[in-house]
Chains A and B, each alone.
Chain A
Amino acid sequence: MSWADRLLFVDRRIIFLFVFVGALVPIIAPIGLGVTVSPPVQQVFDRIEEMQPGDAVMIAFDYGPSDGPELDPMANSILRHCHFRGVKVVGLSLFPLGGVDMAIARMRQLADELGAADGVGWVNLGYKDGAQAPMKAMGENIASVFPTDANGVPYEEIAMLEGLRNYNNFEMAISLATSILGEWWINLVNAQFGIDVAIGTTAVSAPKYYAYMEAKQTLGVIGGMKGASEYEELVERHYPQAKGLSRTATMGMDVQSIVHLVIIFFILFGNLMFIVTRGKKEAK
């Protein structure tokens, strides 16, 4: 086996080690690189910025713990943004594997860091099975599928929800989605009920949503940790009160920079070795 072959078939644990160290170092010693904002994220921010105090937004927490590093910071900054603007947030979840607990945790964080009280600035309606069925039902009457909030308080008894009967009473719906749920918010809820829908999604799903965004089926896409860091940046730029609050996505993007470089190096190096070995084989 030639030296190039040996490098090509190196034990993969050595590659693992490079990735591990590349990720760990910037976490222990953050670098602090800047953030540039892209139009799809700006559009979502601007739409909330246009709203008046007292307007309502529906946020669907359609993701689980494995998407937390990407979608938690999005949720945090959107919740903060709504809080600063005095926009009411109605949270819910249609994703079975942990969505409701992600919603509980994010809203608890909002209450802890900014003092937003349950039932005043936000309400968490909890989780429902059936995905499209509750999506359709909410077009007529939200309480028909969410008779209580996540704490068991009846819908009609929550003062903040007064006048919020169906999608018509909301300015927009935001789905923080992994899997196909975000697409259903677009091709069912937006298509059939006309409410503006914005999508916050994992990086893996982001490319697909561009097709919906360009067809004006969603008004913006916040894609992955990068999108989340952009939203963090926008909120901090416009609201000085946000200074000092956690910005986990922005910190994470430092790490992304380093690990991407490691992986790009491996891709290019792998190809170089491939070309060298192919050249030798052809010569033989």
Chain B
Amino acid sequence: MKRQIPIMLAIIASVCPVIAFFFPDRWINEWFNQRLDAWMVIIASFALLLGIVSMIQVNIHKIRRRARGWGFSIIILVTFTLMAAFGLFGGQGERADGSLYPFTWMFQFVFSPLQATMFSLLAFYVASASYRAFRVRNVEATLLLIGALIIMVGRIPLGTLIHPLVPDIAEWVMKFPNTAAQRGIIIGAALGAASMSVRVMVGIERPYMGKS
């Protein structure tokens, strides 16, 4: 039982969208499939929040053990509670008087600058990596370098000033050799993913069972 029920459920859930695709106007679509889509939105919402339980457990554990950096765990839990409370007991967006709800205020002035700045650090690292690691050691690396230089020059306003054809060369590289390579990757990855899907659909692969 413990093994059969999840396998049966997975097979049914995976076959439903496939049947709906092939019989779009039949009763199964109207009666069941649309409802299933709307239900999945709700289940996905619960699933999205799953990781939060682990996050709370890990940080409480760290504080209890006074592990290294436990003070930061307190900051994580306090800011987490505050933000969650703003979300659960307030609104989102603007109030009627034009002021922001605290949830949106926190997003705009705390979350937003932090996330954006963390990612912007990559600008510096990409520059330093370009200097240290981008070497013309062989044909492959040279092609990599040429591809990069064409785009880096062809996609900036200065490229046009160098020669009016420069942006066209960049566009040609994107449209033909780049498309060919990306298409090979898309088809290759899709074949792999599709065969993996089939393995799950027939119960050979069971990612929902965990390691047990």
Indicate if the CB atoms of A129 and B45 lie closer than 8 Å.
yes
- A108 part of interface (Cβ distance < 8 Å): yes
For A98, the chain B residues whose CB sits under 8 A away are: 107, 111-112, 115
0/1 per residue, B149-189, Cβ < 8 Å to A?
A: 10011011110110000010001001100110011011000
- In the complex, A38→B171 CA distance in Å? 8
Indicate if the CB atoms of A150 and B93 lie closer than 8 Å.
yes
Return the chain B residue nearest A254 by Cβ: B157
Q: Which of B75-124 contact A (CB under 8 A)?
A: 92-94, 104, 107-108, 111-113, 115-116, 118-120, 123-124
0/1 per residue, A177-215, Cβ < 8 Å to B?
A: 000000000000000100000000000001110111011
Indicate if the CB atoms of B145 and A267 lie closer than 8 Å.
yes
- B204 part of interface (Cβ distance < 8 Å): no
Binds B, one of A43-51, A80-88, A255-263: A255-263
Which one of A144, A206, A262, A274 contacts B127 once the chains associate, using CB atoms below 8 Å? A262
For B130, the chain A residues whose CB sits under 8 A away are: 263, 266-267, 270
- B40 part of interface (Cβ distance < 8 Å): yes
For A210, the chain B residues whose CB sits under 8 A away are: 174-175, 178-179, 182
Indicate if the CB atoms of A137 and B152 lie closer than 8 Å.
no
Closest 7 CB pairs of A and B: A130-B44, A33-B157, A133-B40, A137-B37, A66-B119, A65-B112, A129-B45
With A226-B155, A256-B157 given, can you name 19 additional A-B contacts, CB distance below 8 Å? A16-B128, A19-B123, A20-B124, A36-B167, A65-B113, A98-B115, A126-B92, A128-B41, A131-B44, A137-B37, A144-B37, A145-B38, A151-B93, A206-B174, A211-B179, A211-B186, A253-B156, A260-B153, A270-B132
Interface residues of A (CB under 8 A from B): 8, 12, 15-16, 18-20, 23, 33-36, 38-39, 64-66, 68-69, 96-98, 100-101, 104-105, 108, 126, 128-131, 133-134, 136-137, 140-141, 144-145, 150-151, 192, 206-208, 210-212, 214-215, 226, 253-254, 256-257, 259-264, 266-267, 269-271, 274
